[in-house]
Amino acid sequence: MSRARKGAARTQARRKLLREARGYFGTKSRHKQQAKVALMRAKRYAWRDRRARKRDFRALWITRITAACRMRGTRYSLFINGLQRAGVLLNRKMLSLIAIEDPKTFDSLVEIAKKNTSAVAAAA
């Protein structure tokens, strides 16, 4: 009996691999082995960076809120603490958007936060 080789399945697997590697530079998009290595690396970076993106955006939002707070004469930590004590349930993404798009509303949030932090400072 003759030895059976993969035939069509091998070709389909190779095509699938090269289709995923389309757009890569040089041999990484044309040769199976190079494409396989490049795809493994790309998937590893994609996995890592999906998690890093969440950290990066949170840092961006905090930076924006900090800048908006400094323009209004308060600190980020006091602002967040005051909002928490006041029971304002806005996440940092929303606070960042409010600071950029609706400064008057952000001013009122700063006043609410100042009111609640000053009450704590007076009691202490």
Q: Is residue 89 part of a domain?
A: yes
> What residues contact 41, with CB distance under 8 A and at least 6 apart?
none
Q: What is the pLDDT of residue 5?
A: 80
Q: Is the pLDDT of residue 21 over 90?
A: yes
Evaluate the CA torsion angle 57, 61, 67, 70 in order and state its sign.
negative
Q: Is residue 81 part of a domain?
A: yes
CATH number, residue 90: 1.10.1900.20
Residue range of the domain that includes 100: 8-123
Other CB atoms within 10 A of residue 108 CB: 12
Q: Is residue 93 part of a domain?
A: yes
Q: Is residue 3 part of a domain?
A: no
| Residue 39 near residue 21 (C-beta atoms within 8 A) | yes
Any idea what the Cα angle at residue 44 is, between residues 41 and 46, rounded to 5°? 110
| Segment 57-113, tens digit of pLDDT | 999 999 999 999 999 999 999 999 999 999 999 999 999 999 999 999 999 999 999
Q: Is residue 84 part of a domain?
A: yes
Q: Report the number of distinct structural domains present in the chain.
A: 1
Q: Is residue 106 part of a domain?
A: yes
**Closest to 112 measured CA to CA, from 73, 80, 75, 64:** 80
Q: Is residue 2 part of a domain?
A: no
Distance (Å, whole) CA 44 – CA 53: 14
Between 6 and 33, the higher pLDDT residue:
33
Q: Is residue 1 part of a domain?
A: no
